[in-house]
Amino acid sequence: MRPGPRNLITDVPGLLVGNAADDDLKSGTTVLTAKDGLTASVHVMGGAPGTRETDLLAPDKSVAKIDALVLSGGSAFGLDACSGVVDALRAAGRGFRLGPAVIPLVPGAIIFDLLNGGNKDWQDNPYRALGRAAFEAASEEFAIGTAGAGTGALTAMVKGGLGSASFVLDSGVTVGALVAANPMGAVTTPGDRHFWAAPFEVDGEFGGLGPDPRGGLGQALKSRKMQTMRAQAGAEPIPEERGNTTIAIVATDADLTKAQCQRMATAAHDGIGRATVPAHAPGDGDLVFAATTGARPLASPEAELGQIGHAAALCLSRAIGRAIYNAEPADGDLLPCWSGAPGTPSQ
pLDDT tens digits, one per residue of 109-135: 999 999 898 999 999 999 999 999 999
Per the model's pLDDT, the better-predicted residue between 180 and 192 turns out to be 180
Which of the pair, 293 or 229, is modelled with greater confidence? Answer: 293
pLDDT band at 231 (very low <50, low <70, confident <90, very high): confident
Gyration radius of the chain over CA positions = 19
Region 15-42: mean pLDDT is 96
Q: What is the pLDDT of residue 339?
A: 86
Which segment of 85-94, 175-184, 236-245, 291-300 scores lowest on mean pLDDT?
236-245
Alpha-carbon distance 168 to 93, whole Å?
33
Is 240's pLDDT higher than 70? no
Return the C-alpha torsion angle 81, 83, 89, 94, nearest 10. Answer: 130
pLDDT in tens, 48-65: 899 999 999 999 999 989
> Is the pLDDT assigned to residue 215 strictly greater than 50?
yes
Per the CB < 8 A criterion, the answer to whether 287 and 247 are in contact is yes
Please report the pLDDT score of residue 342 as a whole number: 64
119: closest CA among 225, 30, 22?
Answer: 22
Whether 158 and 336 have beta carbons less than 8 Å apart is answered as yes
Angle at CA of residue 272, ends 120 and 223, nearest 5°: 55
What's the pTM value of the predicted model, to 2 decimals? 0.94
Instruction: Give the mean model confidence (pLDDT) for residues 215-225.
Output: 76
pLDDT greater at residue 227 or residue 185: 185
Average per-residue pLDDT in the chain?
A: 92
Q: At what angle do helices 258-275 and 301-325 cross, to 10 degrees?
A: 40
pLDDT (0 to 100) of residue 347: 47
pLDDT band at 244, cuts 50/70/90? confident
Torsion of CA 113, 117, 118, 120, to 10 degrees: 70
pLDDT at 302: 85
Give the model's pLDDT for residue 239. Answer: 61
Which residues, other chains included, contact 259 with Cβ-Cβ below 8 Å and sequence gap of 6+? 41, 59
- What's the whole-number mean pLDDT along residues 154-182? 96
Percentage with pLDDT > 70 across the chain: 94
- Read off the pLDDT of each residue in 169-194 and give the average, rounded to a whole number: 94
